[in-house]
Structure 1
């Protein structure tokens, strides 16, 4: 492998050479994409340009620029790590984008990719009936959802909450990065346990929701993400059941809960067939996000109790 790498370093000279080589290497390795790009070529472009400290929108002439030997080794190293370790590219660059904003990420948090970003850009219309003064990003991970909400609603106080101390540390890095310490805070909390006395007009949650079967069958790139942020019981709804039971107590009148459950949306509908969950449609792709008002949470509270519904254990 070392001899092959050294030979490639002398044979490959330009930026385009390394993009082409990286894409071929990724296809050969059978990598899985979905953490920012959806194909081997774009992934190679992302990693090569990052390694060279060049913007993705660089002029086409850059592709023919020759690399120094030091640059070649650095580019080759990051491409080989992507192929050999099956890490999402964002963990190698420590950067991901969400709602047009840049966020620091590492292995302590999921790579941002939620379709909730489209709802943020639309101000959660038509479901949000009040101007939010307080917003909670529950299971915040990197904090990308809550920080994007802070940008969309500059007069709102925003809490970022996660059960994992490492995720809270990453969220604080991103609060600092976007200079939002006066508006946004990061709190370690298991659901609402660490948020005593707090109530919100808007709670947005991208919780763990992957069911046991999907978790076991995930490609290596997804298994590189923290399991605590992915798996949630046999049907993926253990956390969501707890959230549905408790959320109304932390919402103001006319408050709104927005929650992503991904592929577990069918299990949620089977578990609570009496509840008219609203499922927004996304122009940019994505699915499995429901919205429900505080008043609806209260009206259907009997169904949230353990033992109700066809799968009501939680």
Structure 2
């Protein structure tokens, strides 16, 4: 990339916005427009806060800073690598998390529920919480901060994802009550019960997965696609959830665009589909009693 006239932070942000538009980049990993994406990448690469005073944007960069930053911008444009992977960090619930291509980039609307301590849905303060399909651990770790007395288990089938989650547990000094468990679904958690099970599992159906922008190709497919209708794992989770919830526990699962498949598959089940002021959709809630009531039906769809 030509760099002779790019000297200041403002120069680089302006240049990036123009090139992002011209290259038709996709924004879906923390920002939704070229300006915010450019600002996040430029400021983040130089370890500067998002809230930096506007006057600082006219500061000139050192040669090594320009070289480093322009290399990242080139990767974002030419290779379509998401900004969070380039920076090695993403924010969720106002907290920083280590991320790389072993895990999905945090972006779940469940963050809004955590910020509200799941009110009014949780009947009591949870003593044990499970974040199933944890990836980076962001949901479970944010829950641990929201409920400072709770024990939190981070479950995932991927050893590599759990390595990242372990880094984030350490980063937030939560080793005393947050830990990871490897297993496929509930397989690593025999006879364990939880007051709150929350999950952002792979749920992208085959059609949507084939149409995803290039940026998503850098994320682990294991965390995105899950069968023709996206519900291969969700079916098993529903069939087993009653065995892992306490008497008044609740299950919250994100299924995104596969909401339509859930509703078609289980017309008899009165799912509570949660609404979000900050955007997002396709997150359902079931109480433990509902999981028990419909467990036979849920199991039929796994066996059948």
TM band (smaller chain): over 0.9
Q: Which runs of structure 2 are paired with 1:1-314 in the superposition (5 Å)?
A: 5=1, 8-307=2-301
The answer as to whether partners of 1:254 and 1:295 remain within 8 angstroms in 2 is yes
Unmatched segments (≥5 aa) in structure 1: none
Mapped to 2, the partners of 1:50 and 1:145 lie a distance apart of: 22
Mapped to 2, the partners of 1:178 and 1:141 lie a distance apart of: 16
SS in 1 for 2:3: helix
Mapped to 1, the partners of 2:206 and 2:264 lie a distance apart of: 17
SS in 2 for 1:305: helix
Kindly state the Cα deviation for residue 188 of structure 1 after the two structures are TM-superposed.
Answer: 1.0
User: If the length of structure 1 is used for normalisation, what is the TM-score?
Assistant: 0.94
Tell me the alpha carbon deviations over residues 235-294 of structure 1, each in whole angstroms, 9 at most, x when there is no partner.
Answer: 111111000000110111011000000000111001000000001110010000000011
Tell me the alpha carbon deviations over residues 38-62 of structure 1, each in whole angstroms, 9 at most, x when there is no partner.
Answer: 1112111111112222111111111
User: If the length of structure 2 is used for normalisation, what is the TM-score?
Assistant: 0.97
Kindly state the Cα deviation for residue 313 of structure 1 after the two structures are TM-superposed.
Answer: 6.7
Indicate how the Cα distance of structure 1 residues 32 and 121 shifts in structure 2: closer, same or farther if over 3 A, else same. Answer: same
RMSD, matched Cα? 1.2
The answer as to whether partners of 1:95 and 1:103 remain within 8 angstroms in 2 is yes
Mapped to 2, the partners of 1:119 and 1:56 lie a distance apart of: 24
Mapped to 1, the partners of 2:90 and 2:277 lie a distance apart of: 21
The answer as to whether partners of 2:191 and 2:243 remain within 8 angstroms in 1 is no
SS in 2 for 1:201: strand
Unmatched segments (≥5 aa) in structure 2: none
The answer as to whether partners of 2:91 and 2:97 remain within 8 angstroms in 1 is yes
Task: Select between 121-130 and 110-119 the one with higher mean Cα deviation.
Answer: 121-130
The answer as to whether partners of 1:9 and 1:69 remain within 8 angstroms in 2 is no
What is the aligned residue count?
Answer: 304
